[in-house]
Chains A and B, each alone.
Chain A
């Protein structure tokens, strides 16, 4: 028997479009009513939403456990950082380079390791994450342990992006774009192939699906999301240091994906928001709040191992 299902409100296409439009309007209008603190927190939440959506392609869609996702985020941030602060290249021109570099990093780490089954992959990715951070810490071009400063702010049509509200909109738009791309990928031939491989690698292989190639694509596309998020992160902070890209950061992003519900776009966004908002909302409790955060997470994993977002029921309409 199937597990008991929580009733899901099934929306028509029209209703869904309206709901999305309403949510987008709220997202776009919130800055008008918010102070700087709230804006900063929400910007951070959108930023994590992008990273979580990127990792969701690897973990949620393709079913590959990646414990070093911060590495791709680091590659993006450092590419922009180096090109901008050391060579004075315009921010927008650094993006394609950063995307190419993070995709290349995805290929380098994924190519040889994706032939492994998932447990080994987790260890390799963990090591890779640390390697990237330690390289950044020890090279001159990356500024060593103190990192890079003086990264240029980008400008659009003469408007320099410097205020909190600018970056709020930048990350909001990027998150929307990430949702759109994720949705299109999920409901495509490639998205289905990821699902087949996740469910049964041998059967997928017998159906003519090249599992290594399909996983590699998930890896590279996930890396691209991380790279783009890294570029804008570098531009927003104007300074980056290796300590931003620790193992703890990778785990945090993974936590957002798992907690919200792997493979479900709204779930992943809820997870990212929970990740950022929870410690802020309970800030008054001081260091106790991380303890409570831990207990809440434990509760979620015990009672809703599928994540916060409800499972789609069986008929599979979409």
Chain B
């Protein structure tokens, strides 16, 4: 069954169509990728899915319900978490505090609970801490939990973002260029991590990525877009041999070679 279903999605910025009648599906429990040359509209698709952009028309169905027009925080609460292409950590806060933000949408204590430290509030605080530490342990950063987020190495900051997204207890995790800026070893670890997130935690994954090696290795299904429209879809092998994909990536001189 498809966990995420996108149909006829159109997004325009002042008359320019960035996404053109795009449709694709992500099956529950799968690892899927969305690829395409620079400027193809991949991040725009993510921003539509997570509620940061409001598409002009089309349908987005997540876990059986339409999420179009919903605010980002509601979509996260519905079970779709994301990471950002450029790191968006809460820089001056500790690693643990960063990850604890993910549990915000799974808890409810308010001002009253905070001031009187009701039993419910204390139980929640404990739960938030437990889940956050578990997520940090999962990405292998538990020993760094009390450090300021911006004092960590770049690769570790990325992991904080993953832990933070996992702490929202998502059904679907959207990774926006997770390998950007990582060295070879870190990329190998990333592949392992993506598979572990799916296998051990049952989280469906959709990623955008430039690194073709990583995409081909990890994805079970790949959707290729160019100029905002789908040009191919299938397994790594099918996509690699598709003439339209080859043309999109290699076709004209000014396009980036991959």
Contacts and interface: CB of A to CB of B under 8 A. Distances in A.
Interface of A: 2, 181, 184-185, 188-193, 195-196, 199-200, 202-211, 217, 221, 314-317
Q: Which of A181, A204, A209, A316 has the most CB of B within 10 A?
A: A316
A145 B171 CA distance: 61
Interface string B69-97: 00111101100011010001111111011
Given A199-B91, A206-B82, A189 B109 contact: yes
Contacts of B104: 189, 192-193, 196, 207-209
A208 B105 CA distance: 5
29 contacts: A184-B114, A184-B115, A185-B114, A188-B111, A188-B125, A189-B109, A189-B114, A189-B121, A193-B101, A193-B104, A195-B90, A195-B97, A196-B90, A199-B93, A200-B88, A200-B89, A203-B89, A204-B90, A205-B73, A206-B73, A206-B81, A207-B76, A207-B168, A208-B76, A209-B101, A211-B73, A217-B111, A315-B148, A316-B97
A209 B100 CA distance: 12
B168 A208 contact: yes
B124 interface: yes
Nearest to A198: B90
A185 B117 CA distance: 10
B138 interface: no
A203 B88 contact: yes
Question: Top 10 nearest A-B pairs by Cβ distance?
Answer: A208-B105, A188-B114, A208-B76, A316-B94, A314-B148, A203-B88, A199-B90, A205-B72, A207-B101, A210-B73
B127 to A, nearest CB: 11
B164 interface: yes
Given A190-B114, A200-B89, A316-B93, 13 more contacts: A184-B117, A185-B115, A188-B114, A189-B107, A192-B97, A193-B101, A195-B97, A202-B72, A205-B52, A208-B104, A209-B104, A210-B74, A316-B97
A217 B52 CA distance: 23
B110 interface: yes
Nearest to B107: A189
A316 B72 contact: no
B84 A206 contact: yes
Given A184-B114, A196-B101, A315-B147, A206 B76 contact: yes
B116 to A, nearest CB: 8
Contact of B50 (A185, A192, A206, A211): A206
B56 interface: no
Interface of B: 50, 52, 71-74, 76-77, 81-82, 84, 88-94, 96-97, 100-102, 104-107, 109-111, 113-115, 117, 121, 124-125, 128, 146-148, 150-151, 164, 168
Given A189-B125, A195-B97, A314 B88 contact: no
Given A191-B114, A217-B110, A314 B76 contact: no
A261 B258 CA distance: 51
Nearest to B161: A203
A209 B75 CA distance: 11
Contacts of A205: 52, 71-73, 76
Contacts of A192: 97, 100-101, 104
B52 A202 contact: yes
Nearest to A203: B88
Contacts of B109: 188-190
Nearest to A313: B148
Contacts of A190: 109-111, 114
Contact of B148 (A193, A203, A210, A316): A316
A188 B129 CA distance: 12
A205 B84 CA distance: 12
B111 A209 contact: no
Contacts of B76: 205-208
A207 B102 contact: yes
A315 B97 CA distance: 11
Contacts of A221: 111
B65 to A, nearest CB: 16
A185 B105 contact: no
A307 B81 CA distance: 37
Contacts of B94: 314-316
Nearest to A221: B111
Contacts of B100: 192
A72 B109 CA distance: 26
Contacts of A207: 73, 76, 101-102, 104-105, 164, 168
B105 A199 contact: no
Contacts of B114: 184-185, 188-191
Contacts of B117: 184
Contacts of A202: 52, 72, 88
